[in-house]
Amino acid sequence: MIRKAFVTDVPALQALIAPYAEKGEMLPRSLHDIYDNLRDFFVFEEAGKIAGVCALHVTWENLAEIRSLAVRAAKTGHGIGGRLIAACLDEARALKVRQIFALTYIPEYFERQGFRRIDKATLPHKIWHDCLNCVKFPNCDEQAVIIEIG
């Protein structure tokens, strides 16, 4: 089941994101950051446990970012990530946001979800706020992908 995250989910969300962050595959998220952006988060819950998480963060008038997409290792390959992305895209449509991007090390995965690669330099500078805290900044090797929805 996909649903919006609850306040009580925050420690589990951080624990799900942490292994990916430790491997340098995504930015770490502090408890404070997750609480602060809780309304951005969707979770995939199965048998009372969170098996996946993804956030849609509005960055500007017509632009939002999909971030913190993480699926429990034992549950990868079951379509959970795609369903979480679809939930984010549905919310973007409801908010009338037309362009959704992601910065990722797995652009092929996002391409299978309908995104296309772009040069990240074409994205507005205001999206780099979180990047300033990254150990890889300014030599980021993530790829930018974007999708336009109607």
Q: What is the pLDDT of residue 25?
A: 87
**pLDDT > 80? residue 1:** yes
Q: What is the pLDDT of residue 128?
A: 57
CATH (one of 3.40.630.30, 3.90.1150.10, 3.50.50.60, 3.10.400.10) for 2-148: 3.40.630.30
Report the run of H or E that residue 13 belongs to, with start and end.
Answer: helix 10-22
Boundaries of every domain in the chain = 2-148
Q: What is the pTM of this model?
A: 0.90
Cα–Cα distance for residue pair 131/126, rounded to 1 Å:
10
Q: What is the pLDDT of residue 150?
A: 77
Read off the pLDDT of residues 33-84 as tens digits, 9 standing for 90 and up: 999 999 999 999 999 999 999 999 999 889 999 999 999 999 999 999 999 9
Q: What is the pLDDT of residue 13?
A: 97
**pLDDT > 80? residue 106:** yes
Cα–Cα distance for residue pair 125/49, rounded to 1 Å:
37
**pLDDT > 90? residue 130:** no
Cα–Cα distance for residue pair 147/140, rounded to 1 Å:
21
pLDDT > 70 in the chain, percent:
89
DSSP string, 102-128: EEES-HHHHHHTT-EEE-GGGS-GGGG
Query: In a 3-state reduction of DSSP, which class is residue 11?
Result: helix
Q: Give the strand pairing for 63-71 and 49-60.
A: antiparallel
As a whole number, the mean pLDDT across the chain is 91
Q: Pick 18 or 140 by higher pLDDT.
A: 18
Q: pLDDT category, 126, cuts 50, 70, 90? A: low
Residue located via tokens 């336009």: 148
Residue located via tokens 């996909």: 2
- Please list the residues that pair with 65 across neighbouring strands: 57, 101
DSSP string, 46-88: ETTEEEEEEEEEEEETTEEEEEEEEE-GGGTTSSHHHHHHHHH
